[in-house]
Each structure stands twice: as C-alpha cells, then as structure tokens.
DNA sequence: CAGCTATATTCCACTGAACGTATATTTTAG
DNA sequence: CTAAAATATACGTTCAGTGGAATATAGCTG
C-alpha cells in the first residue's frame, strides 16, 4: 500500500497512469504523448512497475506497459475499509442511543 | 486527488491516518502514541488537513483531529473507476469476438 | 558483423520535503 | 496579570527524489 501510494503521488507518474487507462503503450509512445524525455520516462515506469502498478511485456525491441488491476483493487479495498470504520462507529453510537432511550422509558 | 495522494504517501502521515481510524485524538496524544515530537506532528497534521484528509475541532487549549470521510470516498471512486475501464475493455473484446464468430458461422 | 532503434542505466546538479531546535501564539489556571 | 500547558510557526540542516545529458544494453536489419 505504501509503495503504491508513493508511486501514484508523483504528478508525472500519475499522468502516465491516466494515459494508460486507454490502453497499453510503449515507452516511446508514452514519452511522446506526455512530452517527457525517454530516460525520465523509463525511470518513472520503473518505479510504477516495482510498485506493481504496471505490467511489462517485452516485444522485440520494445516494452509495452499496461496497468495492473491489483493495486487499484487494493486501493479501493483500503479506502472502503474506512467507510466501514464510520459505519461501525455509527452502529455503536446507535446502540448507545437506543440504550439511553430504553433506560429512560423503563422507569 | 493529487493532494490526497501526496498527503497519504508519506509514511509517518499514513501512520497518523491509521491511528485516527480508532477515533479522534489531540495533537499531543498523536505525538505520544507515535513517538513523534510535537512540532513535526503539527506539520504533518497541517498537510493532512489542507489535503482534506483530516478535520480539526478546537476545544479550549487543544485541537482534536479526526478523519474526514470525503477523501476516502474520492479515493475509492477513483480506484474503482479503473475497474470500470477493465470491464469496458472486456465488453469491447467480447463484442469483437462475437462478431468474429458470427462472421464465421454466417457463410 | 555493422549499423540502427528502442529502452535502460549512470552520473551529476538541484529542488523540495522532512526533521530537530528554538520561538511565537493561544488558552487556561491561579 | 502572570505562569503554565497545548499547539503552531520559523529557521537551518540534511537527505531523497526528480530531472537532464551522456552512456550502456538489447534486439532487429541488412
């Protein structure tokens, strides 16, 4: 999770991720469309790959990068777990209020 | 989204967020439980607050920080939008394959 | 094999962010 | 009003990460 967040937090890497939404691309294509130079592009792709955000497929001279579903599933699960925290807290508050009301009506 | 990711990507800030899962805390309590010094804690809390991750409530001398639901909802929605990308791609692939098959059986 | 293309790696400079210490600000207590 | 407690801000240092230029590596083509 930490490495995923770190990889995505860098603005230019986030741009790469958004670009790859529409489909897999080679290093050169990514660099061209985002006006990055090639080495910098490779470095960002390395970070994203090592974080598991991207998958690489070697095809002859070229390397085709594509989004991996996993990190986004993890991110979604992690973010949604906070929603569950709220709901649990609400449940406890609800139970507490109900107990309060019951104590009031019983006597 | 960019500021949310940036705020959460820093390991010590992530620890603060995880700590606040269990409920709101004051600056001093956060610093103590995570063995941070007070100024550094305040700085991290500032970044998290400005990114909308935390909400502050002033209570006399103290400031009580709590998680805000919004950024996590946004994060969840953003992450899940990638899943939708996959499904759409699958749909297109599916349609393509069906058309292929139809072309085959028609003649 | 030689030359060419695509990508990765290395080296260096620089910026930004995190950290610690000291200080300022705010609020309460006496 | 003064002293103490809780928090925020300012300042200087250090370090990680980004960016660019040059170079290395891998694979194709003739």
pLDDT tens profile B44-95 = 999 999 999 999 999 989 999 999 999 999 999 999 999 988 777 776 666 5
CA distances to A52, A55, B17, B34, B55 from B44, in Å: 27, 33, 10, 12, 13
> Chain B partners of A72 at a C-beta cutoff of 8 Å?
79-80, 82-83
Measured over the CA atoms of residue B21, residue B25, residue B30 and residue B33, the dihedral's sign is negative
Lowest mean pLDDT among A9-13, A52-56, B27-31, B86-90: B86-90
Q: Report whether A8 contacts A17 (CB < 8 A).
A: yes
Q: Are B9 and A9 an interchain contact pair (Cβ–Cβ within 8 Å)?
A: yes
Asked if B69 lies within 8 A of A83 by C-beta distance, the reply is: yes
Is the model more confident about A88 or about A77?
A: A77
- Partners of residue A58 on adjacent β-strands: A63
pLDDT at A93 over 90: no
A41 touches strand D (CB under 7 A): no
Query: Is B101 a residue whose pLDDT tops 80?
Result: no
Listed range (A33-42, A80-89, B9-18) with the worst mean pLDDT: A80-89
Average pLDDT score over chain A: 90
Say whether B76 and A80 touch across the interface (CB within 8 A). yes
First to last CA, chain A: 52
pLDDT at residue A45 is higher than 80: yes
pLDDT of residue A107: 44
What residues of B are in contact with residue A23 (Cβ under 8 Å)?
Answer: 89
Please answer whether residues B57 and B49 qualify as being in contact, where contact means their C-beta atoms are separated by less than 8 angstroms. Answer: no
Which element (helix H / strand E) includes A18?
helix A11-20
Neighbours of B41 (CB within 10 A): 20
The answer for A 69-88 residues in CB contact with B (under 8 A) is 69, 72-73, 75-76, 79-80, 82-83, 85-86
**Strand ranges of the sheet holding B54-59, from the earlier edge strand across to the other edge:** B25-26, B62-67, B54-59
**Cα A9 to Cα B98: distance, rounded to the nearest angstrom:** 40
pLDDT of B97 over the 90 cut? no
pLDDT of B98 > 90? The answer is no
pLDDT greater than 80 at residue A74: yes
């Amino acid at each position: 999770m930490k490495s995923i967040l770190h990889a995505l937090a860098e603005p230019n890497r986030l741009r790469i991720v958004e670009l790859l939404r529409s489909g897999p691309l080679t290093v050169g294509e990514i660099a061209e469309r985002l006006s990055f130079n090639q080495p910098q592009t490779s470095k960002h792709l390395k970070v994203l790959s090592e974080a598991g955000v991207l998958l690489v497929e070697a095809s002859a001279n070229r390397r085709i990068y594509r989004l991996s579903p996993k990190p986004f599933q993890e991110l979604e699960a992690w973010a949604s777990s906070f929603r569950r925290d709220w709901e649990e807290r609400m449940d406890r508050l609800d139970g507490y209020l109900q107990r309060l009301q019951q104590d009031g009506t019983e006597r």
